[in-house]
Chain A
Amino acid sequence: MPRAAHSREDEYVSTDVTTPRATRPMTGRVVAGVAIGLAEHLHVPAWAVRVAFVVLTFAGGIGLVLYVAFWAALPLNTQAATDPTAARSSDTTRLLSLIVIVVGIGLSLAALGVDFARGAVLPLLIAIVGAALIWRQTDDEQRDTWSAAASKAAQQTVDTSAAAGRWRIAVGIVLVVFALVALLLSQTGPAAALQGLSAALLILGGVALVTFPWIYRLLREQSQQRRALIRAEERADIAAHVHDSVLQTLTLIQRASDDPQEVARLARTEERALRSWLYAPDGDPERTFAAALKRDAADIESSYDATIELVTVGDTDLDPALSALVAAAREAMVNAARHGGHEASVYAEVDEHMAEVFIRDHGSGFDLESIPADRHGVRESIIRRMERNGGSATVRSSPETGTEIQLRLPRDSDVTP
């Protein structure tokens, strides 16, 4: 069976892609997601990895070194970023845990006899914290780029986290600079420290001046490339769609050029398809009420050479009763298209209490009583069907105003889980 073989192949491919590399997830992490990433890769609980890191830290700081090395080596898991609503532990929580970790390490080191007041230990620790903050931020920016590309809805998240990010970078820089100055002061006298600082600043300024245009151009090119890529993808999408729909229809129209009715039908069908592709929010006719009605209206327009003006208000997922309502509405639309002068107005409204569809045409009208009992159309497919599903159907008809079929379906009574 080719189908089964195909699906097994899919499965194989997908497992093949996801297993080989450990990644750092963006959710559930405490510092940079290294521990949780490793834990997922090795199939052990995250706390075990965390404990291992802490224990190793006291073995001459190996844990800390390993952590930083893994941080640099493991790629960020950007797949999870495609869901912008995925839970993220709040910044305050993470900041608190970071502080607890730092203080804990500090206290332990103090207990082991390291003297913080003297020498380079305290400045070094502060510098590490500052650097960690900045590194963290680059992680977040990478994540945000991905989620912004994945969804425009994430724009707001990006904006707020960008503000938080600037703060984090600023605090990180202040910490690092403060630590370096303190280090310098502790090693030399104030005069020498000032001299060293100004020399360092001069060199930094020179480097910045020389490299600035280059860095600027690099950044600009990067964003231009990204825009061009997005544009190219959009163009390819549109080209594919136009080829599948408009070009095919135009070919058909050329072939049918001596049959005006067929040309009109093709043009109308294509117009409707193009319009719904351009303007309509995506709806799956198998799934939602309004999309199902729209599909049926389009079908009937093309098979009966009629114009159906469909207006829908509200939408909801289909359930069996609503599907029956759509089927009844379809029958009514067919009726209108055949007997109603090829023009019909359809209005559908659905909310949590009631679903209603009104199908109106301007034909000569018909008398419900005069329809022979054996004619299936109106009686069986519309009225009985509505009644079986707890709804009702009314037909109002007169030679002057045409026919209006009103379908009502109360929705409170048959709430299905």
Chain B
Amino acid sequence: MTPTRAEFHVLLALLDGPRHGYGLMQDVEELSAGRLQIGPGTLYTAIKRLRTARLISETGADAERRRCYKLTRKGRTVAEEEARRLNDLVRLARKRGLLPSTS
């Protein structure tokens, strides 16, 4: 599956280890430098889709008994593929002069 923007950010947030819902929301905002703010609705529809596709799985509850989620091996592979795809697009945009060259 191709993850949406919110789903990809959730996958990136989980690379550092298991997170609960609110922790994921904070991480997504931090990772996107405040450009992407997701509410409970977007977060849990993304979690549902990612769980259905077996990209993330539920792990034990934390100290405050909040349900936590972790990245699966398949989730990591999909995140890598998506990152590679986006990287190729950026490279193409640079080649076409849409973005400034890094060299």
The judgment on whether A and B are partners is no
What is B's interface to A at a CB cutoff of 8 Å?
Answer: none
What is A's interface to B at a CB cutoff of 8 Å?
Answer: none
